[in-house]
């Protein structure tokens, strides 16, 4: 995981330096905050320090998501790739945090972690149109599985009722 993290961080830093301009300030802050969380969790920093940094990361995620949705942050293919790399880093952070601090996440830091997870979901939603535009969606084709729009709507409705 350490080598993967270094590779992802190096790739994100390289992309940030190539595409850096005023619009990228939020993306750069997001990358720095995501990297900080990873470093804090790996170094067994104090729990309160980690979750204060997680709140800051959540705020950075929200700023990027809102910028994309408000079209203030234009996503060309290079920026989208950079955000995708950062998004993978967020997944690694989530895994690391849950693995190391599951009890704290279930108790005193539950709300903080839920806000973080919700922000990641909003980032995914904000990135979706750009991924569609550039053909970067990974869709699995399962032979024989054809669902009509009506069936899909029924499945979604049933899922909403359960959730």
Count of residues for the chain?
163
Which pTM value belongs to this model?
0.73
19 pLDDT more than 50? no
What are the tens digits of pLDDT across the range 42-70? 999 999 999 999 999 999 999 999 999 99
4 pLDDT more than 90? no
pLDDT at residue number 101: 96
- In whole angstroms, what is the distance from residue 24 CA to residue 146 CA? 41
pLDDT at residue number 90: 97
C-alpha distances out from residue 131 to 14, 85, 121, 123, Å: 21, 13, 15, 12
- In whole angstroms, what is the distance from residue 36 CA to residue 33 CA? 5
What is the number of structural domains in the chain? 1
The structure tokens listed for 155 are 């499945």
Share of the chain above pLDDT 90, in %: 57
What is the extent of the structural domain holding 116? 2-162
18 pLDDT more than 60? no
């Amino acid at each position: 995981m350490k080598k993967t993290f270094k590779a992802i961080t190096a790739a994100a830093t390289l992309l940030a330096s190539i595409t850096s301009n005023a619009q990228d300030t939020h993306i750069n802050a997001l990358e720095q905050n995501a990297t900080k969380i990873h470093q804090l969790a790996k170094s067994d920093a104090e729990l309160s320090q980690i979750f204060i940094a997680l709140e800051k990361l959540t705020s950075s995620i929200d700023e990027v998501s809102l910028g994309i949705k408000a079209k203030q942050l234009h996503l060309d293919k290079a920026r989208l790739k950079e955000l995708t790399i950062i998004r993978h880093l967020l997944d690694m952070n989530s895994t690391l945090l849950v693995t190391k601090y599951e009890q704290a996440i279930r108790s005193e830091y539950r709300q903080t972690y839920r806000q973080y997870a919700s922000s990641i979901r909003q980032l995914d939603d904000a990135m979706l149109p750009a991924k569609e535009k550039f053909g970067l969606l990974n869709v699995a084709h399962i032979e024989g599985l054809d669902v009509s729009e009506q069936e899909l709507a029924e499945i979604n409705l049933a899922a909403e009722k359960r959730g």
